[in-house]
Amino acid sequence: MVEPELGRLASPWYTDANPGRTIEIVTDMSKSRRPGFTGYQATDDAFFDLFAELRSDRRIP
């Protein structure tokens, strides 16, 4: 990995807290879309594109 300090990439308290949540979270993009943020990329496409870029940059095998 390029960044050796993992704490700069992800917060451990947030990552550790998520699996223990006892509530469901519902999200809505309406507030973002109303002012014009209408760009959309499917989640799976976003991950495939990200990992293709990381492989291209030789950050992952």
Sequence-ordered list of residues with C-beta below 8 angstroms from that of 55, at least 6 positions apart, any chain? 61
14 or 26: which leads in pLDDT: 26
In sequence order, what E strands does the chain have?
Answer: none
Q: How confident is the model at residue 15 (pLDDT cuts 50, 70, 90)?
A: low
DSSP state of 47: H
| pTM exceeds 0.95 | no
pLDDT tops 80 at residue 50: yes
List the chain domain ranges. 6-56
Average pLDDT over residues 28-49: 89
Per-residue pLDDT, 48 = 96
Phi/psi at 27 (5° precision): -115, 155
DSSP state of 58: T
Q: Computed from CA positions of residues 39, 41, 1, 12, in that sequence, does the dihedral angle turn out positive or negative? A: positive
